[in-house]
Structure 1
């Protein structure tokens, strides 16, 4: 059976493995690299354009690479349009910087940072009204790496408290029972649900709008009933999140920002 071919514009990424290749697609004089990922799990051919990971094509192992290149070439104009969209978004958005007066993304909003010095040897971070206040010793005040580490650890602690609480709330509404909930620092997924009912959530959900984070939670809970992305699955999601397409668009358009260090 010939695998079907899907084109996707997404913020999600596929973990890099040793099977990645980096061929080049030439479009109107421009060269665009794309990666090929072949795994046993792939049943269909999937072309993904994302802000963080560029152009990727995943396929079953038996599909010849020349056939994949031909398929990518057929979609050349679509690929170029998507790449330019992400470049435009990147140019328009503020950059992640860890210094006094800069802004970072928090719950979907660019939130100013205030860096203060204090007499203690360690750092502290907290929310104060509409800004994030970081207090560090004088010699750390301009250390971007120190400020970034403080921010990431703060996000991780907050996520570990907040996301399981929200998960329990939505599980109750949906009359579903999950097993273990873990919060992780992930670069490739917003969340996942195992066949055993264990759910993992990305700590970076604290950076997206709360309603969008709730969509991811509902999405993973729906997998407790349907461990797939069938029409039945999406019907469950839309029962509890009617605006799920708007949240998917937000993640698609802004997901590349969630590296906490700005675009690479």
Structure 2
């Protein structure tokens, strides 16, 4: 069933696996945003219920790079960007840079501060979440140099500059990991991707070569998985396109076209299979109705767990 997987590592090792009418799915995390109304308006609207603040030894510090106002809460000091304009309500946004507050030209600062204090718990919680998300993204950033690591099918791969490797300049070959040593607790070394570039290669050259290799592996694997699952769902797919979108993992069109993000190749096979089955199921139901999810469950009874894994695993930053 997984014959194609035997070739994924360029014969070096066996892979280990533990428009109208279009459907778009599996969106990664997006920036946070919130808008509230000034006092006297019907209500203050929140996109999510407030989350209790954690006890802190010292107040947290948050500063927007264009901060021109600040407020001290019980658990945080927040420097925020303040704007005035032709609007009728007080609004605020929490994003990657921090807190931005917008207000009508006539609104006194005391009123602005009152609105912020009314939403203190939500603001501080969302600022903390945004900071943690930024830290996760930075930790997943790939350093384009020899010795850097990136995940391939859920396993770490070390980048090695090797101009002598047999595929010639610009090629790459995956070398299997060495077995663990005899001593207790000695882990096996990670796999190595030998790249046919000189030691003086630039970061951009390395990035482009690795991306081209990963995209070739992605197309081969996705094709095999589409062929594997399509008969189980009773559908036929017609065309596979690779996407580099930052906002979704896949989409399907009624004409049988499937679009999958090539960065899925970073994840383990069960997670990839969830996205593949999800998109194939759209060829039967171009929606997310109970019938759609039943088709997914018929093929992958544990699809909910796989979906959570997709949401929870960090995506390498390119």
Q: When the two structures are superposed, what TM-score results if normalisation uses the length of structure 1?
A: 0.65
Q: Which residues of 2 match residues 233-252 of structure 1 at below 5 A?
A: 233-252=292-311
Structure 1 gaps of 5+ residues are 1-8, 15-23, 34-48, 56-68
2:248 aligns with: 189
Structure number with higher helix proportion: 1
Confirm or deny that 1:108 pairs with 2:154.
yes
C-alpha distance after superposition, 1:137-190 (max 9, x if no partner): 3432xx111000000111112222221121011101222222222223332221
Higher relative contact order (CA 8 A, sep 6+): 2
C-alpha distance in structure 1 between counterparts of 2:269 and 2:95, whole Å: 22
Q: Which residues of 2 match residues 25-40 of structure 1 at below 5 A?
A: 28-30=76-78
Structure number with higher strand proportion: 1
**Alignment equivalent of 2:174, drawn from 123, 127, 133:** 127
Contact 2:163–2:169 (8 Å) recurs in 1 = no
2:274 aligns with: 215
C-alpha distance after superposition, 1:118-138 (max 9, x if no partner): 399832211110221112134
Task: Give the SS at the match of 2:196.
Answer: strand
Structure 2 gaps of 5+ residues are 1-25, 32-66, 82-93, 100-114, 177-190
Contact 1:115–1:135 (8 Å) recurs in 2 = yes
Q: When the two structures are superposed, what TM-score results if normalisation uses the length of structure 2?
A: 0.55
C-alpha distance in structure 1 between counterparts of 2:304 and 2:250, whole Å: 17
C-alpha distance in structure 2 between counterparts of 1:220 and 1:50, whole Å: 30
RMSD: 3.6
2:144 aligns with: 98
Identify if the C-alpha distance between structure 1 residues 54 and 175 changes in structure 2 by more than 3 Å, giving closer, same or farther. farther
> Once the 2 structures are TM-superposed, how far is the Cα of residue 206 of structure 1 from its aligned partner?
1.0
C-alpha distance in structure 2 between counterparts of 1:183 and 1:117, whole Å: 29
